[in-house]
Amino acid sequence: MIFDTHAHYDDDAFDEDRETLLAQLKAAGIERVVNVGASIHSSHTTLELIEKHDFLYGAIGVHPSETEELNEEWMNWLEEKSHEKKVVAIGEIGLDYHWEEPARDVQKYWFVRQLDLARKVKLPVIIHSRDAAADTLEIMKEHGRDLGGVIHCFSYGPEMAREYLKMGYYLGIGGVVTFTNAKKLKEVVKETPIDRIVLETDCPYLSPVPNRGKRNSSLNLPYVVDMIAELKGITAKEVMEKTWENAKALYRMTE
């Protein structure tokens, strides 16, 4: 039983075979997936997709790189849609300084606003943070300490991991942990208690070895499970069971 806590099945990369692929997941043991919005458009398409498939749940929110499209009207729309039954989180939101746009101030402003929205509607958050460790931590300490949620595709070192674990956050671990050059992330997984780790694909991106570079899907998660099991010295079955329970707790699902 595998829970993929972060996927983008509404992405164009799945246009050719989306329904066929989704139909294969359950038989492969992928029993629940959270499809994550990253813009207003993909929040719309996420809502459409989760309505069609009982095992898909959704998160809505605007990724830092897309924040220039946000305004009060769209914030009101996000608030309204956050009350829909299968919407389980606000995200993905955060900071991304990899490309120097939108301006850092713009990203920070809408990050804080979406954290405040999550507080208002009582949902956990999915945090995206790339090349922005210090600013993300500062904002999270001030505005996100009590919200609960996941640091998705965790990419920083053990010290930063400890800060988020202290605040009660889960760490999202995906394909990157199988890369031979992912030494830092392997250290993080070794040090993080198994009850604070959740599985994710971020598909279509970040396929694990041996499928690195190809389109990713939840079908690849067993490779991630095996690597986590090896790093922590436990069985793959334990990894699947624990991360399933963690994912349910993260998204506050009662069944």
| Residue placing its CB nearer to Zn ion in the complex, 131 or 195 | 131
Residue of closest CB approach to Zn ion: 202
- Considering the complex, what minimum distance in angstroms separates the CB of residue 6 from Zn ion? 6
Residue 10 interacting with Zn ion (CB under 5 A): no
- Considering the complex, what minimum distance in angstroms separates the CB of residue 203 from Zn ion? 9
- Considering the complex, what minimum distance in angstroms separates the CB of residue 201 from Zn ion? 9
Q: Which amino acid is at 249?
A: A
Binding mask 171-210 for Zn ion (x = CB under 5 A): -------------------------------x--------
73 Cβ partners below 8 Å, 6+ apart? none
Nearest to 228 by CA among 219, 237, 218: 237
Instruction: Name the residue with tokens 């009982």.
Output: 54
- Considering the complex, what minimum distance in angstroms separates the CB of residue 202 from Zn ion? 5
| Residue placing its CB nearer to Zn ion in the complex, 92 or 219 | 92
Binding mask 104-123 for Zn ion (x = CB under 5 A): --------------------
- Considering the complex, what minimum distance in angstroms separates the CB of residue 18 from Zn ion? 17
Within 13 A of 158's CA, how many CA atoms are on the CB side? Answer: 10
CA distance 183 to 38: 28
Nearest to 202 by CA among 11, 62, 1: 11
CA distance 228 to 174: 10
CA distance 35 to 13: 14
| Residue placing its CB nearer to Zn ion in the complex, 4 or 202 | 202
Q: Which two tokens stand for residue 116?
A: 């405040």
Number of shown-chain residues binding Zn ion (CB under 5 A): 1
43 Cβ partners below 8 Å, 6+ apart? 37, 60, 61, 62, 78, 81
| Residue placing its CB nearer to Zn ion in the complex, 96 or 202 | 202
| Residue placing its CB nearer to Zn ion in the complex, 10 or 202 | 202
| Residue placing its CB nearer to Zn ion in the complex, 93 or 232 | 93
Query: Would you tell me which residues interact with Zn ion (CB under 5 A)?
Result: 202
